[in-house]
Chains A and B, each alone.
Chain A
Amino acid sequence: MISNSELVNKYFRHNKKFPHIWCPGCGIGIILGNMLRAIDALDMNKNEIAFVSGIGCTGRAPVYVDFNTLHTTHGRALPFATGLKLARPELKVLVATGDGDATAIGGNHLIHACRRNIDITTIIFNNYIYGMTGGQYSPTTPHSDKASTCKLGNIERPFNISQLVEAAGATFVGRTTSYHTLQLQSIIKKAIMHKGFSVVEVITHCPTTYGRINKKGTAVDMLKWQKEVAVDKSRADKMDPKELEGKIITGILMEKQLPEFCEQYDTIIEKAQSMKNNQQGKSK
């Protein structure tokens, strides 16, 4: 595997002003680093990678890395990425989005991107909170947990992102945590290789907002919690639902092959062009 210094030299932008904006202990850097290790292991050409994000802490990830990078508006990374992918199908398009970005303001785009099965890999950094704005509850904040806009406890029920995207039609769904870095690399690799719309949900931690208000301890404590609640799918399949309460099932949760959007559109172009040619032939 590539060493850390090689990784930094090869993939981080040399002309970008550092330091990055993330807090000490943040999980986003872990996920970004392992995404880069996955990309490196796949030996991909940097010119052929487009890395697209929305708004929030996660949205800042692309600016640091040396790809074609697009930092869009809140919740809209997927439709930007959809247009880009359809315009340039040869690009490998990766999307980085947070839980609020992907499932609140961008929820409609997320389910439709799943349904279309366009060949985009979406990594959802799920830290249960709006971190950048100071810790408001998101669609994945657990019931009864606290946030700056629900100090007496959250009365809304959270989305299960992996179930949501599977139901919406994604053809690859993986879930892991920022503790399980090798699994994270492996799932991202497989998601990138998958032809169709792939989603990787990564459970991560925000020690600054969610961790502090909910007394979850330090970043290390929160990583340990991820280790404890994660149950690999192979093991979970053999457990009864009672045992799985409060656990997070990790691994490749679902994978299937269905016609991909850009490839299907190519057949539409072929049909439309042959119809046009036939009509021109007749009129002559």
Chain B
Amino acid sequence: MNKKSSYQLIQGNEAAAEGALAAGVSFFAGYPITPSTEIAEILSDRLPANGGKFIQMEDEIGSIAAIIGASIGGRKVLTATSGPGFSLMQENLGFACLAEVPLVIVNVMRGGPSTGMPTSPSQGDVMQARWGTHGDHPIIVLSPGSVEEAFHYTVKAVNFAEKYRNPVIVLMDEIIGHMRARVSLPPTSMIERVNRVHPNMPPEWYLPYERSATGVAPMASFGDGYRHHVTGLVHDAKGFPTADPNEARNNIRGLFTKIERGFRELCLVDYEFMDDAEHAIIAYGGMVLSARSALEQLRKSGRKVGLIKLGTLWPFPRFALEQYLPQLKTILVPELNMGQIYREVLRVNAGKAVVEKLNRVNGTIITPNEIVKTVKGLIR
């Protein structure tokens, strides 16, 4: 016990790969794409060495299909991609939402749309991560704000996927993915691993989509004797397609209910200097680094500024903002897109504080000085 963890110099993509292994992922299917490829390369080495499996598929559509198949076979699964590949995965992502198949997608965001700016940072996929697949569905999206968090959030993503039988997206940006940092990763024995709940009733009693009190149904693996049907059609508790309005409602509402019940647990938020803050910066991903640096400068010059760091983007942690609204005069949302979380902030703010956005879509980052200047302008 308490084996001392050692320091290492690694990049965010490596940390995510280490997180996947620490969480017990034993199956990866993927397709090469910048800037996420290191994750596939690392896991192609490390998985077989740990008895796991790696397969390079013919495209990203096949990659997510393969991890869904493997997850139904009982494995903890993950894939990694970037913008164009994430677009290709959307249809089967919806399948996993409806069929309630645990899986994790690490999307290392790059400039878009289309082929965009493959080696440049962006946060343009926030709304795609939420709504990219067709139809109404809930989704869990985590956004690591440091290399160390790339490890911890990937572990959490795997655990959430297993616990809620839902796809989880680790929405990393190229800043975190390719930044190297000195981090201390805990030994595997110290990692909390969550496993999906398997059925324990006799197979003939098993209903694959009958929700337990947690809102999540136990999940049998193919081959375990609980023969059942899995489909992308709206289905009843037996898993069979249905057009019955009540059964269809129960199916879709049930997807939302399980995420609503887990809402507080799913919301990862950190607060820095918020106790007496009159002005807040709301940031996530690589923009946390600029925001934190700006915050130090602003506090040194006596401004009552704080940081709300969103680790979870979806479901949107609205309480993180709501609890501070009575004391806040201004809010700044710096993002490497045209204002995707900004709109959520506007919605939750509901006209109370002054909300301003700071956006960049040219493949470069927003610097701390720019944030300082903008906040000062707002305060004045």
Contacts and interface: CB of A to CB of B under 8 A. Distances in A.
A87 B65 contact: no
A147 to B, nearest CB: 25
A109 B58 contact: yes
Given A86-B70, A90-B223, A72 B240 contact: no
A83 interface: yes
B49 interface: yes
Interface stretch (B174-182, B226-234, B302-310): B226-234
B348 to A, nearest CB: 35
A66 B66 contact: no
Interface residues of A, number: 44
Interface residues of B, number: 44
Given A50-B223, A79-B65, A269-B48, A87 B70 contact: yes
Output the residue of A52, A66, A73 with the most chain B CB within 10 A: A73
B320 interface: no
Nearest to A76: B65
B115 to A, nearest CB: 19
A108 B63 CA distance: 13
B225 A47 contact: yes
B72 interface: yes
Contacts of A79: 29, 57-58, 61-63, 65-66, 69
A176 B228 CA distance: 30
A80 B68 contact: yes
Nearest to A275: B49
A272 interface: yes
Contacts of B378: none
A177 interface: no
Contacts of A84: 69-70, 72-73, 222
B34 to A, nearest CB: 21
B290 interface: no
Interface in A58-87: 62-63, 66-73, 76, 78-87
A73 B65 contact: yes
Contacts of B68: 72, 80, 83
Given A79-B57, A112-B58, A71 B27 contact: no
B69 A108 contact: no
Contacts of A88: 73-74, 221-223
B75 interface: yes
B148 to A, nearest CB: 25
Interface string A255-284: 000000000010011011101100000000
A46 B226 CA distance: 10
Contacts of B58: 79, 108-109, 112
B376 interface: no
Nearest to A85: B69
Nearest to A108: B58
Given A83-B27, A87-B73, A272-B48, A16 B227 contact: no
Contacts of A48: 223
Given A71-B231, A83-B55, A87-B69, 16 more contacts: A48-B223, A50-B223, A71-B230, A73-B65, A76-B92, A78-B62, A82-B62, A82-B66, A84-B70, A88-B223, A91-B73, A91-B222, A269-B53, A272-B45, A272-B49, A273-B51
Interface of A: 13, 15-17, 46-48, 50, 52, 62-63, 66-73, 76, 78-88, 90-91, 108-109, 112, 265, 268-269, 271-273, 275-276
15 contacts: A63-B240, A67-B227, A68-B222, A68-B223, A70-B69, A70-B72, A76-B62, A78-B62, A79-B63, A79-B65, A87-B53, A87-B69, A88-B221, A112-B57, A112-B62
